[in-house]
Structure 1
């Protein structure tokens, strides 16, 4: 096979979908016997919605969830008021999606899994990788049952305790975000409306929140526990917690569907690439869940890596193109770790900073800006939506190809539109498959040289 993806979470499944549509022979392996069952990463940010639009799953994702409700604070059985969960982001033609979606992680994974199967991709369950060996031409992974799988490249998407990361000797450094123990659970209960995210803060800084999970009959319970309280993940423990912090009774919690405990921390891998092994998602960076950055940053990892693996495996680009994955994504992940920590500690509001629409790669070696101090969009920026001659740009971008704006296509590999929208400013723009401007110039001079090192197109 070409690529072995370890981990069938949102990261691994997104990468599997992207590679499958490129015709890359990839297999996803998952240690568990089924997809993850909990709601954990439930926020789908606007930039991730753009990714899912391109991958052909946005309609299903939207159908699986819904908008975030406003938050209401309770004290002594009385509501003190409500406020929106997110600061508003102004909608415009270039940003068609501005509001985060609430979709439980298990539903997001089901949608991605179905899309992967539709494209002919495969997930092998019950296959936990325990050892990894690299050679000049490939990498082999040994599963717990003794099975050995061989691929040209391996992508570790096996979570914050990544066995693959440890196997290849890559360290991870971080910090404790909050020393208090936390509990998260999916429950069914009665006595609360489903129009609000209900929060029950205590005077000592502990508290419980109960959020109705869009697209389901469940609530997600989030609890910050006092002192050195050990989380009790049983139904009885959750009932006691709800009764202690809210006006509900133990019996109002009718079912416990999933539960987990954690202490918020950050972690950033020392490297995102070790030879033919690349790290993505929580295997590369671990976030506080505040602000909904973890899953979204992980999906962006996969989206950045997919087209690069495809170009190298086809022989259209040199293997050094894969070095730009770490160059671009590690810096981005570090920034998102700071952001999620700020949201957790209350120094950053959920809003413009958390929707990920402003993220880009201007400092990347793949961002080639040949104009002098141009206005508008520059190389390395996210390519905004817009309309050219009645064609929506996101429709033109959709698919595994590069897109040229402002000049005729020099190759049938490219889709070309005769101009860019006025919002881009003057120039010629080459849009990467992951929706960022790779190259920009006043004319197409130098474009072929850029294509030679990125696999954007062939002129022969």
Structure 2
């Protein structure tokens, strides 16, 4: 298997494939890692995925925790009644991230200079805040692109190869990592020979609508950041609405991807949704997903994974903190089935785990 690109998405796809003993060749044009960090951070759903694969502790050792709030349409500082806006955000000890509207940009391929940034700050804020010693300078626009197809034969797209959008909300890397975890186990199943015929097709069916929604919400955020009177009025109204817990939860769920529900058909509301980490007899639920296998979580003690036991682990635990008697989890942590009947269960794993 060849993975083109060793950014976070490519690296995650390769790691997922290796969990299933698939040989991987990763191709990367850069000979050295980047000397700067391009992203703001991992959102809640991506953090959950890291926990599922036993990677979270290493990330927490090197990262900083941030509250999951206040990042829809960014927090822009409007200057005491003017129509201009910029953002100045602490980003570590004596380090700040500055985002400032560009003006009169000529060749976008040319990187900005520190003086470009300082001039724009002086024009908008009346001061350049003494900015100096930049770690990274870059431009971004509001272009959005979405691949029409995520799969053509043996070629599959993920991450920035499948979708691009403005970096507002810090969704790009998170979207790509989530693509990788959705795709990895399905691609491994295809290589190992047990994938159902339609399994790889579910990658596009599930992930492309998620990307389309991200493109929509970044477009909306770009409009809200406009200095024009109309968008400014909408932004003020939205700020009022975000004081309502239900609205704030909805927007946070949209940005952080915890509200995603893949369409697995009619019935119970839980299938298609991700299952949050929870207490089980063996410590934590996500600890049981490190190997990238399916999981039958059985509170009744009466069910069995049967002929899928080489692909689906089984935990009989009457104390599990669930609102349903039993459920079947896919390797990406999304619920595939809920119930308590063995025959009904036997009718479902083949959709995700092939023939027995």
Bin the TM-score by the shorter chain: 0.7 to 0.9
- For the aligned residues, what is the CA RMSD? 3.1
Q: Secondary structure at the match of 1:337?
A: helix
Pair 1:439-2:337 in alignment: yes
Partner of residue 17, structure 1: 15
Partner of residue 150, structure 2: 272
- Alpha-carbon deviation of 1:266? 1.5
TM-score by length of 2: 0.79
- Alpha-carbon deviation of 1:334? 1.0
Partner of residue 101, structure 2: 224
Partner of residue 270, structure 2: 378
- Alpha-carbon deviation of 1:326? 0.6
Pair 1:241-2:133 in alignment: no
Change (3 A) 1:202 1:342: farther
Change (3 A) 1:421 1:220: farther
* Separation (CA, whole Å) in 2 of partners of 1:270 and 1:325: 13
Partner of residue 105, structure 1: none
Q: Secondary structure at the match of 1:331?
A: helix
Partner of residue 305, structure 2: 409
Report if aligned partners of 2:279, 2:321 keep a CA contact under 8 Å in 1: no
Report if aligned partners of 1:42, 1:292 keep a CA contact under 8 Å in 2: yes
Partner of residue 212, structure 1: 90
Report if aligned partners of 2:159, 2:177 keep a CA contact under 8 Å in 1: yes
- Alpha-carbon deviation of 1:262? 2.3
* Separation (CA, whole Å) in 2 of partners of 1:420 and 1:339: 41
- Alpha-carbon deviation of 1:335? 1.6
Change (3 A) 1:24 1:441: same
Report if aligned partners of 2:158, 2:180 keep a CA contact under 8 Å in 1: yes
- Alpha-carbon deviation of 1:439? 2.4
Pair 1:323-2:308 in alignment: no
Change (3 A) 1:282 1:200: same
Q: Secondary structure at the match of 2:213?
A: helix
* Residue in structure 2 matching 1:388, options 277, 280, 284: 280
Report if aligned partners of 1:388, 1:421 keep a CA contact under 8 Å in 2: yes
- Alpha-carbon deviation of 1:24? 1.4
- Alpha-carbon deviation of 1:32? 2.4
**Unmatched segments (≥5 aa) in structure 1:** 71-83, 88-176, 178-196
Partner of residue 355, structure 1: 256
* Separation (CA, whole Å) in 2 of partners of 1:205 and 1:319: 56
Partner of residue 342, structure 1: 220
- Alpha-carbon deviation of 1:319? 4.9
**Unmatched segments (≥5 aa) in structure 2:** 225-234, 243-250
- Alpha-carbon deviation of 1:420? 7.0
1:228-269 CA-partner distances (Å, limit 9, x unpaired): 34476123323333444446558x333122222121122111
Report if aligned partners of 2:281, 2:319 keep a CA contact under 8 Å in 1: no
Tell me which protein shows more strand as a share of its residues: 1
Partner of residue 167, structure 1: none
Report if aligned partners of 1:8, 1:30 keep a CA contact under 8 Å in 2: yes
- Alpha-carbon deviation of 1:403? 0.4
Report if aligned partners of 2:295, 2:330 keep a CA contact under 8 Å in 1: yes
Partner of residue 37, structure 2: 39
Pair 1:455-2:332 in alignment: no
Tell me which protein shows more helix as a share of its residues: 2
Q: Secondary structure at the match of 2:139?
A: strand
> What is the number of equivalent residue pairs in this alignment?
323
